[in-house]
Structure 1
Amino acid sequence: MRISDNLWVATLLSAAVLPLCSACATVDPRVASSDANMPSLDGDAAIDAYVRKLEKLAEAHPPEPVPLVLPPPMASAPSPASDGSGVADMAMAEDTSGSVVVTGSVTEESITNTQEAGVDEGGIVKRRGDTLVVLRRGRLFSVAIGRDGLVPVDSINAFPPNDDDPSDTWYDEMLIDGDTVIVIGYSYGDNGTEVSRFDLSGDGHLAYRDTHYLTSGDYYSSRNYASRLIGDELLFYTPIDFDSVDWREGLPSVRKRGSDGRLTEAKRNEGTSRIFLPKRYLDSPSFGLETLHTVTSCHLGEAELPCRSTMVLGAWGRDFYFSPGSAWVWVDTSDIWTDGDDDDEEEQTSEAILYRIPLDGSDPSAVGVAGSPVDQFSFRENGGGSIDILVRSEDYGGGMWGGEVSYGDPMLLHLPFGALGNGSKDAAKDRYRKLPPVKGYRFFNRYVGRHLLYASGSYGNEEETPQIYIVPLDHDWVVAMPLPHGITRFDALDSDAVAIGPSGDDALGFSSIALDAKTGAARLANTYLMPDAEEGETRSQALFYRPDAGSAQGADGTLGLPVSRQLRDDFGEFLGDASAIAFLRREDRILSPAGVLESRVAPNDENASDSCQASCVDWYGNARPIFIGDRIFALMGYEIVEGRLDGDAIEEVRRIDFTPQ
């Protein structure tokens, strides 16, 4: 559940390490299985029989006291080596030549960065033609941008009409499919995902259509997004606490809200008579199997919102990632990194499971794995039927704030799809590539083209991060690249990368990094230090890069990022603390300042007068740079400012304030 801003620090620095004990008891439910596919509990009788076994195991193992685990002190990472250890020094990093294959992370229609082309993520601002739609503090707003204008059009509550207690729901994500606006929230009153649809007219007016509730536990994350849109299929990852309710009540279902506010009887989703589980869990149930990890697809084009769910059973910890064809869910518990002798296969058994859930409805597959990904950016599916996943020894479950804390030496796991099967086997040891170690619990990683970038530090001391590492995926060496600033963000600049973070003199550093896909080389093109600034947003969609038309590999373009000049160091960047959008020009891969578009309202000052009734904290931030054609906008709270590049400098053209009165 959400944590108030005066308590989340304690949560960030602590971890509930839950025991996972195996038992020798076996069950013989009615199952379907093969070497290639996971077994499944088919039908209510088989599910019930297995659940009774889990309940007996839980009774025999009462909960143990939860220890408090604090991060270790920040230490320096080892110096880069050039002695054959696999870590290249800067001399190698400077050797860049050839062209880069552009993988593309932003679709043509998108105005926010997305991890995968064609997989739209829920967000706080979307575009439909000449209309911008903004989700903020429990309301939807539409703004017309046609004919070189900028005009507020309409607003409407994001919660259903006649809702007696809208404050029990948090509205954080929005998607647009044609003329339908979809608002995603989590309702603590109804204990489920709230999906409301609104009609968006051609002239930008909004009208409420309907609301449905999907069974789920709270899945929100400080880094990931819960919803995706592929075509007209609305997709969710949702965990369901399988051990805290009657299992029949916990199965994924949809309830529709009537005009009187009452909910219809729950209708189980297609696919909910079948629970998949790895063969190892079928043979040896564990009381740690407490969560149904569920991927649900709902067809937006129909009135009753028909949904199909695929469920896999596992422990509580999770990280998930959506590609255009699959959902990947990594499930683990506490510290599951193996410490056994490398030559002793018996001691290398993993307690973590990687699931691949095809989005076409075919059966999932699984394999035992070791370690924990940090966030969704630790995953990258390759076009050739394989996936790369960066892992550390452990993290804290992937839920809210979980991605902000992780430990251990990084490794890169490369798996072909064929390595996953019925879940009885572990990924082979030679599938893990050892990478240079890092210190610090706040870890950042990003794939850009055929490179992986990563670095780690500690919150509030990120400027002490000594260097970043760049891994060419098609080569067996690594670039160690010192930077004059720390790291709080990696992102793509078309086929190149940018590293962003604080420096020791209160400046915000932007480093342009040239990447060569053919040779694997990487070089630091330049660094710009913006004085008296820090990031105002942590969300991935907060950064946007627009390459210039005709620029080869995006070497020239414009970058926008929300920044704060407050320098309060009070965790405000997690809740939306931006007071300006900073713009940088990039010419021949060299970054230089292009100016800022600033808010006229101090962050959160407008909140006192907006009569907010629901979702009154900007958990997913409140500022975004927006590029549409040759136009540039800065969304900051209830303000939108349009700017124009005059040469290499941005100047304000017009602005609006759509604060509700």
Structure 2
Amino acid sequence: MITRIIILSLTLLAATGCSVSSYQAHQALNRLENIGDGKFESDAELTRYYDEIQLVRRAVNQKKYGKPACEAGEGLCLEAIVVTARRREANPEITNNQEAGVDEGDIVKVIGDYLVILRQGQLFSVRYSGDTLQAVDAISVLKPGWQHQAWIDELLVYQNQLVVIGYAYDGVIGEGTVELNILSLSDDGHFSHDNSYVIAAGDYFSSENYATRIVDGELIFNFPMALDDLFYQGSSGPLQFARMGLLPDSPEQPIRWQSLLTAQQIYKPRESSLHPVVQVFVKCPLASQLELCSAVGVITGQYEVTSYVTTQSIYLASQSLRQEFLIDAEFDYYIEDDPNTFVYDLYRIDLDSFSLTNQPINGTPINQFSFLEEGDRIHLLTRRDGSDDELSGIFLYNLARADFGNTDSQPPPVRVAGYHDDDWLNSRFVGDWLALGQANYSGGFLDSNSFVLTLHNIHKQQALELFTGHTSSRLEFVDDSLLVLGYDDQENLLGSIVSLDSNPRILSDFQFTGVMEDEYRSHAFNATRLLEGGALFGFTTRPSSSWQEADDYSEDAEAADLYFVAVDRHHRLSPAGAFHSQQAPEPVAEDCVVSCVDWYGNSRPFFLRGKVYGLSGYELIQGDFFQGEVRELQRIDYRLH
């Protein structure tokens, strides 16, 4: 099984002076508690902070293992923590984006009369104007002469410019690098390389969220950087945070480096961590070819955090272990039996000033759909598991942006009842409502509570429960209503349409025969309004007979089917046909180097210029919607043969 490795941290301890007394460790903790707020003032202050963290870390290892963290003469002690993860300006947006005005990275985009498709490290252009569906060009994303092992994940377009982000664990500089490749598409659909950049950093990959956005002509992206990795660089000059290098034409030429971040642009944590991680957010005007980027960082205790981007803000939610527990060797770092052991924070980055404010919260969001910025307020759903009935639970916040950080002026959250620690939840803000339900997929884990959808009005003290008869594995806004897709206790896929007026109710429901969802990312779904009223939506599927073998990240490059459903003016659901993949599963080649697994999926439904499209592996299918049915008009293999 191919896995996507995420290096969480590289712990570096000095070879001498390793033994630490309890008094020294507690003195270091006291100093950490008094580092103050705001940004670090200098490299020296950040270095002192890191020295204190190292001292406490030595004490922890000494207490746990009964000996100093490293022995004299051993040089650097390296402790690696490794996990595997299952992994033209007016261009139309065909991606199922969360926020209007915020385009998210995906695997298919539009530039003029051309579709641009990203698959397995290559870009493909297909002319789609009129009744034409013609493969035009293909190109490797990586800069010529710089081929290496990498995961190429997300594509964005701006005017005729393409931005492709990827990650290499052993990149061109011999360490983990975020890779940004800038290409152009000509008026006749041919690609050319512009610039390629590498950033020494950790992997941004998330199984649900996306790393890149475009807002008003600016590229927004984020990545983690372990503080250990920064000091491991061993530079005798100024600290080089998030070094971004412009690749020259040849590997024999030197890379031109710039530092995206200084110590003075990194915000201090409210609580320190044994393994601090700088979460870095970057914005770059695309007209500048990424030469005029701004960045801001905040130290957290987590490698993977939940973020949400709007046209005005970036939000970041994180949790950290309380500092008094840092040197408790009996504490299991990954178990939240006692909710008092963690603190939780919501950070807001203003997109204009790129300044950061912080608001303490209770718990962590379920995913990026647990956020909604509305005017000058942010609505947020959090969850906190544990044995303390007062602190644990599900909470709904309504926070004023202007009062971020002023806890006394913010209203307390509303507690959401009816859910338990072991529930796998899904949430979505739609209209005036927050929808919340269980997202369990397998019948063996379901009970009657799994089929209840809870709706909370975010402007009034109003809540109600609806029994849908199935789980809430997907929540989508369709034709001014809420679409809920999920499974019953027999593992059948069902859908319900719920009204979003002052009295929400189930308007219709439907059972899908013989299919299950293939991919649960938000981009694997799409919807469009119909001129005659109602809507048409599509999503990726596979035969339900494959349930036991379901694996979103199979080593065999298997393409999904595209299933379409019509919603009439009376909100009734009816099947509208499907595009079935005709591509046989393709085993990953033994010599595969770039993007050997489709971590972001390989299939998408979308709607463009009155036509219905399905991307299914290396097939692109075009159809139309006629008399309640999606009809296939043509399909091509978009690879050039």
Normalised-by-shorter TM-score class: 0.7 to 0.9
Alpha-carbon offset, residue 47 of structure 1: 2.1
Q: Deviations along 1:571-630, whole A, 9 cap, x unmatched?
A: 42456865311111101211111111111123xx24568985410111101111110121
Q: Deviations along 1:168-225, whole A, 9 cap, x unmatched?
A: x101100001111111001112312100011101121111222101232112110000
Alpha-carbon offset, residue 4 of structure 1: 3.9
Secondary structure of the equivalent of 1:381? Answer: strand
Q: Is 1:178 equivalent to 2:164 in the alignment?
A: no
Alpha-carbon offset, residue 394 of structure 1: 5.0
**What residue in structure 2 maps to residue 269 of structure 1?**
260
**Match for 2:100 among 103, 108, 117?**
117
Q: Is the 8 Å Cα contact of residues 273 and 320 (structure 2) preserved in structure 1?
A: no
**What residue in structure 1 maps to residue 193 of structure 2?**
208
**What residue in structure 1 maps to residue 228 of structure 2?**
243
CA distance in 2, matches of 1:581, 1:365: 43
Q: Is the 8 Å Cα contact of residues 535 and 573 (structure 1) preserved in structure 2?
A: no
Alpha-carbon offset, residue 134 of structure 1: 0.6
CA distance in 2, matches of 1:350, 1:272: 26
Q: Structure 1 pair 450/501, CA: closer, same or farther in 2 (3 Å)?
A: same
Alpha-carbon offset, residue 415 of structure 1: 1.3
Alpha-carbon offset, residue 296 of structure 1: 0.7
Q: How does 1:254-653 map onto structure 2 within 5 Å?
A: 254-261=244-251, 264-269=255-260, 273-278=264-269, 280-281=270-271, 286-288=272-274, 290-303=276-289, 305-316=291-302, 318-333=305-320, 351-383=343-375, 385-394=376-385, 409-421=393-405, 430-439=411-420, 440-461=422-443, 464=447, 465-516=450-501, 519=502, 521-549=503-531, 551=533, 556-565=534-543, 566-573=545-552, 579-587=560-568, 588-602=570-584, 605-606=585-586, 612-653=592-633
Task: Give the partner amino acid of 1:332.
Answer: Q
Q: Is the 8 Å Cα contact of residues 40 and 263 (structure 2) preserved in structure 1?
A: no
CA distance in 1, matches of 2:182, 2:295: 20
Task: Give the partner amino acid of 2:260.
Answer: N
Over the matched positions of the two proteins, sequence identity in percent amounts to: 26
CA distance in 2, matches of 1:505, 1:660: 44
Q: What 5-or-longer segments of structure 2 have no aligned partner?
A: 9-24, 66-78, 80-89, 233-237, 322-333
Q: Structure 1 pair 224/608, CA: closer, same or farther in 2 (3 Å)?
A: closer
Q: Deviations along 1:35-63, whole A, 9 cap, x unmatched?
A: xxx52112222222322222222222229
Alpha-carbon offset, residue 534 of structure 1: 0.3
Q: Structure 1 pair 427/120, CA: closer, same or farther in 2 (3 Å)?
A: farther
CA distance in 2, matches of 1:135, 1:21: 52
**Match for 2:142 among 159, 184, 190?**
159
Q: Is the 8 Å Cα contact of residues 240 and 294 (structure 1) preserved in structure 2?
A: yes
Q: Is the 8 Å Cα contact of residues 126 and 133 (structure 1) preserved in structure 2?
A: yes
Q: Is the 8 Å Cα contact of residues 623 and 636 (structure 1) preserved in structure 2?
A: yes
Q: Is the 8 Å Cα contact of residues 440 and 473 (structure 2) preserved in structure 1?
A: no
| TM-score under structure 2 length normalisation | 0.81
Q: Structure 1 pair 263/449, CA: closer, same or farther in 2 (3 Å)?
A: farther
CA distance in 1, matches of 2:593, 2:5: 22
Q: Is 1:26 equivalent to 2:25 in the alignment?
A: no
Q: Is the 8 Å Cα contact of residues 155 and 206 (structure 1) preserved in structure 2?
A: yes
**What residue in structure 2 maps to residue 222 of structure 1?**
207
Q: Is the 8 Å Cα contact of residues 256 and 263 (structure 1) preserved in structure 2?
A: no
Alpha-carbon offset, residue 132 of structure 1: 0.5
**Alignment length (residue pairs):** 565
**What residue in structure 2 maps to residue 148 of structure 1?**
131
Alpha-carbon offset, residue 495 of structure 1: 2.2
Moved more, 52-61 or 244-253: 244-253
Q: Is the 8 Å Cα contact of residues 395 and 416 (structure 2) preserved in structure 1?
A: yes
CA distance in 1, matches of 2:164, 2:342: 39
Secondary structure of the equivalent of 1:389? Answer: strand
CA distance in 1, matches of 2:239, 2:433: 45
**What residue in structure 1 maps to residue 243 of structure 2?**
253
CA distance in 1, matches of 2:206, 2:213: 14
The Cα RMSD (Å) is 3.2
Task: Give the partner amino acid of 2:472.
Answer: I
Alpha-carbon offset, residue 306 of structure 1: 2.7
Task: Give the partner amino acid of 2:308.
Answer: Y
Secondary structure of the equivalent of 2:225? Answer: strand
Q: What 5-or-longer segments of structure 1 have no aligned partner?
A: 12-19, 67-106, 341-346, 396-406
CA distance in 2, matches of 1:591, 1:108: 31
Q: Is the 8 Å Cα contact of residues 199 and 207 (structure 1) preserved in structure 2?
A: yes
Alpha-carbon offset, residue 539 of structure 1: 1.0
Q: Is the 8 Å Cα contact of residues 144 and 152 (structure 1) preserved in structure 2?
A: yes
CA distance in 1, matches of 2:221, 2:618: 28
Task: Give the partner amino acid of 1:186.
Answer: Y
Task: Give the partner amino acid of 1:632.
Answer: V
Alpha-carbon offset, residue 503 of structure 1: 2.9
Alpha-carbon offset, residue 358 of structure 1: 1.0
Q: Is the 8 Å Cα contact of residues 537 and 578 (structure 1) preserved in structure 2?
A: no
Higher relative contact order (CA 8 A, sep 6+): 1
Secondary structure of the equivalent of 1:392? Answer: strand
CA distance in 2, matches of 1:6, 1:117: 31
Q: Deviations along 1:413-469, whole A, 9 cap, x unmatched?
A: 221113323xxx657895211112324442211111111111125453366522111
Task: Give the partner amino acid of 1:52.
Answer: D
CA distance in 2, matches of 1:243, 1:394: 30
CA distance in 2, matches of 1:115, 1:22: 46
CA distance in 1, matches of 2:627, 2:285: 46
Q: Is 1:188 equivalent to 2:169 in the alignment?
A: yes
Q: Is the 8 Å Cα contact of residues 337 and 393 (structure 1) preserved in structure 2?
A: no
Alpha-carbon offset, residue 152 of structure 1: 0.7
Secondary structure of the equivalent of 1:354? Answer: strand
CA distance in 1, matches of 2:486, 2:3: 22
Q: Is the 8 Å Cα contact of residues 562 and 578 (structure 1) preserved in structure 2?
A: no
Task: Give the partner amino acid of 1:419.
Answer: D
Q: Is the 8 Å Cα contact of residues 332 and 352 (structure 1) preserved in structure 2?
A: yes
Task: Give the partner amino acid of 1:539.
Answer: R
Q: Structure 1 pair 438/22, CA: closer, same or farther in 2 (3 Å)?
A: farther
Q: Deviations along 1:268-307, whole A, 9 cap, x unmatched?
A: 12655432125x45xxxx3436011111112222246332
Q: Is the 8 Å Cα contact of residues 221 and 281 (structure 2) preserved in structure 1?
A: yes
Secondary structure of the equivalent of 1:569? Answer: helix
CA distance in 2, matches of 1:241, 1:219: 12
**What residue in structure 1 maps to residue 46 of structure 2?**
47
Task: Give the partner amino acid of 1:377.
Answer: F
Q: Structure 1 pair 25/504, CA: closer, same or farther in 2 (3 Å)?
A: closer
CA distance in 1, matches of 2:457, 2:624: 37
Task: Give the partner amino acid of 2:295.
Answer: S
**What residue in structure 2 maps to residue 73 of structure 1?**
none
Q: Structure 1 pair 180/427, CA: closer, same or farther in 2 (3 Å)?
A: farther
| TM-score under structure 1 length normalisation | 0.79
Alpha-carbon offset, residue 249 of structure 1: 5.7
Q: Is the 8 Å Cα contact of residues 494 and 511 (structure 2) preserved in structure 1?
A: yes
**What residue in structure 2 maps to residue 656 of structure 1?**
636
Moved more, 147-156 or 438-447: 438-447
